Copies of this chain bind each other. A is one copy, B any other.
């Protein structure tokens, strides 16, 4: 039996940077272990969603799993909810939720200083007010806190998710009301605005926020919501196992990624001691992957730090983080797996601080492969590899063939 590991380094691809002597962070990084591997690997680049399209992390992952986003993408909210262990029911409307600080209708801090002190207690106190709204509209409202300012909101019992966000991704601007985009969504907008308003009134007079003020950290008094998405379970025959005949598990830390994997029907696992940041405990990932390899055909590994450092415009730290991945994540995987793929879900520019459409490099290592031409793992070198430039949804099919679980068309 062939054991496969499929490594996704979030936002791996980047732009050429003058600070790095006209190299990308990946090019500038010293990565002995990956480069040893690439010498005998097939290499190429992937347009995860399609040439010129800027992928999200959600659509990038769906594509790498082989699901065409045009057909399968229904918005990010449901992935956040699934990844936060909320059991979604058909028709549930899910949102990404950020706890934030608003003063006089103006957004002061979108992330409550990334400090969640007292947040759980605050939500407990809010319970009775939330219940009043639930009764009034005959609905269920689930608010779940994740890490720092992050959370999920799910509403069960409303018809349409077609409403605007109130998160403008900016600070020092007035927070807008939620608006409905179709008549059927009028009640959804009404419920959301009431929930936000009631939370704000409640929180402004709450003891927790007095304590936060004393501690000089931003108060928690506002709900920013975005990425509305209505849940519909994936058809049974479309689930990853039924579609491809392989058992797979997805290792990651942040809920959203675990949610995408759950959505397509993979098992998921958050390795112990991981945190989804650039201080990631990379050893935990390789240990977990090896311990799971006998039970699964494919172990997916998702590492978030590369993307966060790009968003924070830290190309040098991104380079160093890649070097640490090379030292701490890769060796044990190379020793234990027969089929190794390394790629990203999209490129993120550490100059622009945003996702960009440039393809991501990919390498594929297995026995008797058509290796050649590429000696360093990088955005530009991989273009020269034997895989060429492929669409994101193609790579899983190629991978399955190498795993011996090929899709034959014809006879």
Contacts and interface: CB of A to CB of B under 8 A. Distances in A.
A217 interface: no
Interface residues of A, number: 59
A349 to B, nearest CB: 8
Contacts of A291: none
B379 A409 contact: no
A396 B227 CA distance: 27
A233 interface: no
Contacts of A62: 410
Given A370-B380, A388-B383, A401-B54, A49 B15 contact: no
A358 interface: yes
Contact of A357 (B15, B380, B401): B401
The quantity of this chain's copies bound in the complex is 2
Contacts of A383: 373, 385-386, 388
Nearest to A372: B380
A381 to B, nearest CB: 9
Contacts of A153: none
A104 interface: no
A369 interface: yes
A66 to B, nearest CB: 9
A410 B58 contact: yes
A327 interface: no
26 contacts: A15-B368, A15-B369, A16-B368, A16-B369, A52-B395, A52-B399, A52-B400, A53-B397, A53-B407, A54-B401, A54-B406, A55-B409, A57-B410, A58-B410, A59-B409, A62-B410, A69-B409, A76-B410, A76-B411, A356-B401, A356-B406, A357-B401, A357-B407, A373-B384, A380-B386, A388-B389
